[in-house]
Structures are given as structure tokens and as C-alpha cells.
Amino acid sequence: MPEQPFDTLPSEAQELPQGSQNIFKAALASATEDGMSQDAVTRVAWNSVKSE
């Protein structure tokens, strides 16, 4: 699965404060490295931001 470029975050994520965007990006990268599906990667990233 190709990794999602971090400069093309979902529009909702682009509206987050910079610190939250960094958390979102880190979660995307980690979940992608774990081989998760794109849907799962996105859910993990949103859950990471919501828990902070």
C-alpha cells in the first residue's frame, strides 16, 4: 500500500492546530508501517488526535 503523503492530509486534519497535525502524521506513519489498511490507518490517526 502506498504511504499517504503527509502534505495531503484530509481537509479536516489540515484544519487542526499544528501540534495535532504532527500527532496525526506520526500516527499515520506508524500505522502504515504496521501494514494496516488505509481505512484503519485513518481511524488510528483520528483516535490518536482525539485522545490528546
Looking at residue 7, its pLDDT comes to 55
Looking at residue 5, its pLDDT comes to 52
Q: Is residue 2 part of a domain?
A: no
Summarize pLDDT for 1-52 with one digit per residue, the tens. Answer: 455 555 578 889 999 999 999 999 999 999 999 999 999 999 999 999 997 6
Looking at residue 27, its pLDDT comes to 94
Taking the C-alpha atoms of residue 35 and residue 15, their distance in angstroms, rounded to an integer, is 27
Number of domains in the chain: 1
Q: Is residue 44 part of a domain?
A: yes
Q: Is residue 4 part of a domain?
A: no
Taking the C-alpha atoms of residue 19 and residue 36, their distance in angstroms, rounded to an integer, is 24
pTM for the whole structure: 0.79
Looking at residue 6, its pLDDT comes to 53
